[in-house]
Structures are given as structure tokens and as C-alpha cells.
Structure 1
Amino acid sequence: MTITLKNNFKTTQRYFSFQRYYELLSVLVERNLKGRYRGSFLGIYWSMLNPLIMTGIYTSIFGTVFAKYYNHSTLNYVLAAFTGLVVINFFSAATNQALPSVVSNGGLLNKLKLPMSVFPVSLVMANLFQFLFGAFPILAVVTLFNSKNLWNVLALGFPIVALILVSAGIGFLVSTLYVFFRDLPYFYEIVCFVLWMTSPIFYPAEIVPPSVKPFISLNPLLPIIESIRQISLSGALPDFHLIGQAFLSGIIFVALGWSVFRWSQPLFMDLL
């Protein structure tokens, strides 16, 4: 009887902890989005401006040359470049915003006992909300048009979840490191640039030399971009091998980031 009561108490405690975390996360996401777009005419749709402009620039420079890798279709190149840009922009925005999230809320953490992980997670979720109402509808329409299959539209969720996991994992990692190393933003700019250049965004993966491919394959965004492109542009059924690679990448990075964050958390308060 005593053991049953203890188990029920623990279950109730976990439920209220989860509910509190969810409510706090909702407040932080709403605050972030309202602060970001207060007084803005287009709101979250401003996030579409960068990938659209960059797609136009890449197409005007490389479209004719690389169209042959996309069934000799400039339109397919446009869609492929847009897909890559959407992924890299989401990752860059989410992780760069998550980087200072713990430090910038240090004053609040010194006054209230709050779960520290909610701050980087809230930034990733805010960017996810932006993505779902901005880029995702375009990807869904393109996928439905190319595949004529609703399952392909639903399958887009798998690499997108993998993208969220990778972004959250890196968000945990960089927000932890920033507590200890305040020069990190300058270094992380270089990391994001390297990830940008090693992701097949404006160029097809087929042109990468065999000697370089092992290094490119270390990029966690590569299987995610390739999986989204395969689902949305090929017209074929989803390639579960690519989806599996994307998920593996997501699980590895979220596990790594969360482990470092959890292990370092007791040291945060002395430095905030």
C-alpha cells in the first residue's frame, strides 16, 4: 500500500512538473514571437524573405549550370535550393538564438527556480512555429504536386522532426558553452558558415569529389536536406534509408547536447 501511494505521488509530481514546464514554454515562445514581430506588417512571413531572395540569386548564377542534375529543369533547381535554404536558415536561427538564452536569463534564474532547459528549447520552438506557418505550407504543396500522394506530405514530418532534434541538441550544447566561454558567438559564426558551405544547398551533392565526401558526410544537416528533397521533389515514395540517417543524426546530437547541458547545469549559477 505504501509503495503504491509513493508511486502515485511520483506520477502526480511528474505530471505537474510537465504541466509547469509546458506552460512556461508556451509563455516564452509567445513572448519571443511577440517581441520579434511587434509592429511588423508581415509578421512571421518576414522569415521567408531571406530564402526567397537567396534562391533567386543562386538560380540566376547557378541555375543553368546545375539544372542538368535536376532532370534538366531550372524549376527543380529552384525548389532544391529553396529546400536547402529553409533547412539551414531554421538551424542557424534556432541555434544562434539559443546560444545566449541561458546567460541572458541569468537574472531571472537567480530570482526564481526555473528549469534552465526551457530557455534554449523555447527558441527552437519559436522558430518551429515560424517554420510551420511560413515554409512548410510551400513544401507541402510542392510535395503534393510532385508525388500526388498525401503520404509523402505526411512523411515530411520525419526529417523535420530530425531537424528539430539536431537544432535542439546544438542549442543545448552552445547555450552551455556560452556560460563558460563568452567569445563563443564569434567562433560559432565560423561553424555555421562551414555547415552552410558543406551542405548541398546551391550545388548538387553529386558534384562533391569522392575525396571530400567523407568530410561532408559529417554534416548533421546533410541527410535532413537530402531526405526532404527526396520526399518533396522526386515524386517517388519516401526513402526510409535517408529518413533513418536523418533521425540517427538527430538522436545523436540531441543526446550529446542534452548530456553536456545536464552535466554542466549545477555549475551555471556561479557564472550567471
Structure 2
Amino acid sequence: MRNFPATPIEMAASLWRNRSLIHASVKREVLGRYRGSALGVFWSFFNPLCMLAVYTFVFSEVFKARWSGGGDSKTEFALLLFAGLIVFNLFAECINRGPSLILSNPNYVKKVVFPLEILPFVSLLSALYHVCISLSVWLTVYAILFGAPHITALLFPLIIIPFSLLIMGLSWALASIGVFLRDVTQFIGIIVTMLMFLSPIFYPASALPENYQRLLYLNPLTPVIEMSRDVLYWGKLPNFWMLLIYWITTVAISWLGFAWFQKTRKGFSDVL
């Protein structure tokens, strides 16, 4: 039976070795989402723009929400909220799909010699495409309302890259577990919904008592959302010590998820 290396070097080498296949798969997935629609990929611009307008109306007019420590600007609340949602939506899209990545592609397991380990990466890049679109909408609205975005916005990739590594590690693990335990799909849906309200998306972490703030930072989404708002909206440098710890932790999680996937993939064909 074929052995599948699980080293950190193989993790990176496999993605580089299959880069052409990854590019073609991501392109097919992005275009396939809008295939048959009159506006095509332009929907990827309209969706975040419409959602930004809806969030502004619902939270500023219906709920009369204001950002703690900020002004009374409705647009301020909408932009801060949407910045958090950009991060969360990336996480939710990939993690919700994770358990079904192998299950939804049984032919890749049984009939075709296919590098299964690239499937979570294809899912991630497809989601990152929509992050780029949402971010461009966010920056455009910010520029129209407040002027040129802060120079610190250029540091956003330093925050989103380790977050992507975390997502990759979890996706590899979930893709494997989902083959053997079908209930994990339902369980993950509940967990993602809980994390949406247990993350500082609709409120700043500083709005909670200090004891609860410590618990909130156990949520892996919290530092990413807070640092993203710092560099995008507030023009602050991220907490570099926190960022360094986050990089180290997410690299380790990414490799552990890959190692688990490689060690268990031999049993996929037996189950499917």
C-alpha cells in the first residue's frame, strides 16, 4: 500500500507540486458558483456591497447599536462590523465545507490518482477570492467616506496568512474525520454558529469585563478579528507578540492537521 509522507516539508511541497491543478480547480470552483447567472462573477462584488448596506440599516437603525468607545456614526459601526465578518466568513465557509470535502468527491478516492490533500487548499483559495472582493468593497467605502485608508492596512496579509494556516489544519483534520464520522458535519455547523456570537464581531472585546476578555481570547478568531480592525479601521499596528505566537501556533496546527490527514487517508477507500 502506498505511503503518504506527513512531514512539514511535504505539506508545502505537495501544494507547490500540484500548483497547476490547484489553480485550475480554484478557477473552476469560483466560476462554477456563478455559472448560468446573467451577471456572473460580478455577483461577488454585489453580495458584500448589499450585505454592508443591510448591516448598516439593521444594526444602526433597528437595533440602534453603536461601537463602544467610538462615535455615533452609523457607517463606523457598519465598517467595524463588516471587517469582523470578512474574517469570520472566511473561517465559516472553509470549516463548514471541511467535513464533506472527501465525501463529496468519492471518485477522486476510488477511481482517479488524485492528490486529495489539495482539496482543503482549493476550498481556502476559493474563499480567499471572496475575501479579496469583500475587502476591496470595504476599502472603497472607507475611502469614499473617510479618505485614503490607513497605511497599516498593508499589514493585513500578515494577519490573514496565519489564520489561513489555522483553517488549513482544521480543514485537513475535518475532511478526514468526516469520512469516518458523518455526524461531524452537523456538529461543526453548530460550533461555527456558536463561534459567530462568541467572537467579537458584533461588539469589541473591550466591551466585556476583564475576566470574560481572557476567555474570549481563547477563541482563535478573536485575535484575528481584533488585529484586523486595528490595521484596517483604527490605523494601529497589530500586537506583534500576539501575532508571533499566533504564527507559531497556527503553523503547528496546520502541520498536525496535514499529518492526521496523511495517516488516515489509506482508509478512505474502504469507507467510501
- Normalising by structure 2, what TM-score? 0.82
Q: How does 1:134-153 map to 2 (within 5 A)?
A: 134-141=133-140, 142=142, 149-150=150-151, 152-153=152-153
3-state SS of 1:268 partner: helix
- Structure 2: which 5+ residue stretches go unaligned? 1-11
The amino acid that maps onto 2:134 is: A
Q: Deviations over 1:183-225 (max 9, x none)?
A: 1111111110121111111112122233433332221111110
1:121 to partner: Cα distance: 1.2
CA gap of 1:47–1:95, structure 2 versus 1, over 3 A, is: farther
Q: Deviations over 1:85-129 (max 9, x none)?
A: 111111111222233111211123211211111112111111112
Q: 2:82 corresponds to which residue?
A: 82
Identity %: 26
Instruction: Supply the distance in 2 between the matched residues of 1:16 and 1:252 (Cα, whole angstroms).
Output: 16
3-state SS of 2:69 partner: helix
The amino acid that maps onto 2:54 is: I
Instruction: Supply the distance in 2 between the matched residues of 1:228 and 1:17 (Cα, whole angstroms).
Output: 30
Q: 2:189 corresponds to which residue?
A: 189
- Structure 1: which 5+ residue stretches go unaligned? 1-14
Root-mean-square deviation (CA), in Å? Answer: 2.8
- Normalising by structure 1, what TM-score? 0.82
Q: 2:94 corresponds to which residue?
A: 94
Q: How does 1:154-173 map to 2 (within 5 A)?
A: 154-173=154-173
Candidates 21, 39, 47, aligned match of 1:24: 21
1:238 to partner: Cα distance: 4.1
Say if 2:98 and 2:175, in contact at 8 Å, map to a contact too. Answer: yes
1:153 to partner: Cα distance: 2.6
Q: 1:209 corresponds to which residue?
A: 209
Greater relative contact order structure (CA < 8 Å, 6+ sep):
2
Instruction: Supply the distance in 1 between the matched residues of 2:46 and 2:177 (Cα, whole angstroms).
Output: 30
Say if 1:220 and 1:250, in contact at 8 Å, map to a contact too. Answer: no
Say if 1:147 and 1:235, in contact at 8 Å, map to a contact too. Answer: no
Instruction: Supply the distance in 2 between the matched residues of 1:50 and 1:148 (Cα, whole angstroms).
Output: 21
Q: Deviations over 1:58-94 (max 9, x none)?
A: 3334554x33422444332221111111111111112
Q: How does 1:32-51 map to 2 (within 5 A)?
A: 32-40=29-37, 41=39, 42-45=42-45, 47-48=47-48, 49-50=50-51
Q: Deviations over 1:216-263 (max 9, x none)?
A: 222111111011101111123444234335434532432332232122
3-state SS of 1:167 partner: helix
Instruction: Supply the distance in 2 between the matched residues of 1:86 and 1:257 (Cα, whole angstroms).
Output: 24
Q: 1:235 corresponds to which residue?
A: 235
